[in-house]
Amino acid sequence: MDVGFIGLGRMGRAMAGSLIRAGHRVRVWNRSPGAAEGLEGAVPVATPQEAFLGEAAITMLADDAALRAVIVEGGLIDAPAKPALHLSMSTVSVALARELALLHERAGVPYVAAPVFGRPDVAEKGALNIVAAGPPAAVEAAAPLLDAMGAKTWRFGDAPFRANAVKLAGNFMLIAAIEAMGEAAAFAEGHGVAGADLLDLLTSTLFASPVYKGYGASIAAGRYEPPGFGLALGLKDIRLALAASEAAGVPMPFAGVLRDNLIDAVAHGDGAKDLAALSLVAARRSGR
């Protein structure tokens, strides 16, 4: 397929690489032009308008502000020439997802929300888990692209915002798991047990799942750089989850605790570290 790809951060670059290896023609644009250097097979273009064309356009941008700046304020959705579909793979708010669905409907561009679960190393292997929602025909049209980037596509109906709600729910659970491990490790160390030993036991038995094992190993080793999932981005996602929960009348009290602890971590200079650095909050509060 002829694809435009907007947003070449660590995740976007890896995802574009998977599309290229699968044989798709990929035109790429990033706010920092140097991001495309070394991405063999990519076709760099000078403007986002040149990328928002073709059989599909994919956006993988950092947050609501970045996506809005390019698609809405940048005028792409109102441009005369448009793609056959827009695949939005960013983790953004439910509110923005609803707004974009309406704007795309007015513009006549099928819109699919398809946020992903997985870190950059998983994206490089084309093994992401992708959450997709949108018009069934558009999701089917995007299937060759989704298959190239992910191990499995999980479909959640024809309303795009539902995919974003699922993504935020998943990130809430992931961050809650890290908080639990951090508190448990600090608790164990308060009783003379090495936190690393506790986490080795629990992530090999009761909690032997990828999130617990991966983040548990990082916490045990004190390994927080380079970031696979930045802590500041985790704070952004928890804030989005809280806003969406309030809009739906769904209390999420523990999300409020996570927000405050993430703010604590950022205030202590850990925002650019991996999300596993959230565990430092519990360690610091216990004097360890």
Active-site residue flag, 167: yes
Distance between CA atoms of residues 126 and 166, nearest Å: 21
Out of 167, 213, 236, 273, the active site residue is 167
Ramachandran bin of 118, using left for φ above 0, alpha for ψ from -120 to 50, beta for the remaining angles: left
| Cα distance between the two ends of the chain | 54
257 contact partners, CB below 8 Å, separation of at least 6: 179
* Residue 21: other Cβ atoms inside 10 A: 12
The token duo for 266 is: 């950022």
Of 58, 79, 80, 77, whose CA–CA distance to 69 is shortest? 77
Residue 49: which H helix or E strand, with range? helix 48-51
Mention every residue, 6+ apart, whose C-beta is less than 8 A from residue 39: 8, 13, 16, 17, 20, 28
Instruction: Please list the residues that pair with 6 across neighbouring strands.
Output: 29, 59
Residues with catalytic roles: 167
